[in-house]
Amino acid sequence: MGLSVTADAWSAWPAPAKLNLFLHIVGRRADGYHLLQTVFQLLDWGDAVRLRVREDGAIRRIGSLAGVAPDADLAVRAARALQAAAGTTLGADIAIDKRIPMGGGLGGGSSDAATTLVALDALWRTGLAEDDLAGLGLGLGADVPVFVRGRSAWAEGVGERLTPLDLPERWYVVVDPGATVPTAGLFAAPELTRDAPRLTIPRFLAGEPTNNAFEPVVRGRFPAVAMALDWLGAYGAARLSGSGGCLFVAVDTRETAAGIVDNCPPGLRAHVARGVAESPLLARLDEWRAGVG
């Protein structure tokens, strides 16, 4: 059983970034939503969400988040969704230590929301099942469920149909060119490929070539991203992540990744991250349940 939580006790919970190792658009639903195939690779690097239980039922964000009003913050919305679903009278203060670039395609807002759901379910002792938490997450965004479930996965549908994958352990250099890419504009782009042939998990694991459907669109519209892809491409198969502005390359060792980061040109920010099969959030949850708190 976890430690008792007092009103003045803060606890910290990881909210990892993700990479889309590829992203194909294979069609559209009748309601206009695009049907995707992708692989979510979770990382050992990301944001941290700090939470403090309140007895008065209020949900408050502590601190500011550039360009995001508190009521629009996915973490705040996640807390309110859980509060309503569970019928709890408890509230929470929420503070987020941001490391994941906003609009970068690394899932920062979605991961913050998922961590808020999972952690507050523990702290409030509301006891929802993983499927229920993932369902709440899907109501907030298509990427939230993979972070709730906490396992790198093959994804289909709008990104919510997940199959856990055992991926080879790789190190990644994640590069932020500083470009905030609006997802809605990319989905509306006339040059976007929306009819890619469907891939299967065995063919993906066997090494069949893949791509990111958004990459040519982003290259054409965001010169800073195009330049970063060209620079990183000298070290391997550089690729855009998701529908954002960040990109990555996979390498075999931490030392190789660190060497690339050391050569990062001015104007770019680069990070070393390790791909993980299970989210650090799951380890933190196990730790809390064991009584470490």
Given the residues 18, 47, 112, 176, the one annotated as active site = 18
Is position 98 annotated as part of the catalytic site? no
The contacts of residue 31 (CB under 8 Å, 6+ apart) are none
Which token pair is 109?
Answer: 């807002």
CB 148 within 8 A of CB 117: yes
Which of the following is catalytic: 47, 93, 112, 143? 143
* 66 CB-near residues (< 8 Å, 6+ apart): 102
Residue 239 makes CB contacts below 8 A (sequence gap 6+) with 21, 22, 211, 212, 215, 247, 248, 249
- Closest by CA to 109, choosing from 118, 120, 100, is 100
Contact 249, 239 (CB under 8 A): yes
Q: Are strands 59-61 and 91-97 parallel, antiparallel or unpaired?
A: parallel
Phi and psi based region of residue 288 (left: phi greater than 0; alpha: psi -120 to 50; beta: remaining)? alpha
Residues 118 and 183: their CA atoms lie apart, in Å, by 26
Rounded Cα gap, residues 148 and 130, in angstroms: 7
228 φ/ψ angles, rounded to the nearest 5 degrees: -65, -40
Beta carbons of 165 and 154 less than 8 angstroms apart: yes
Catalytic residues: 18, 143
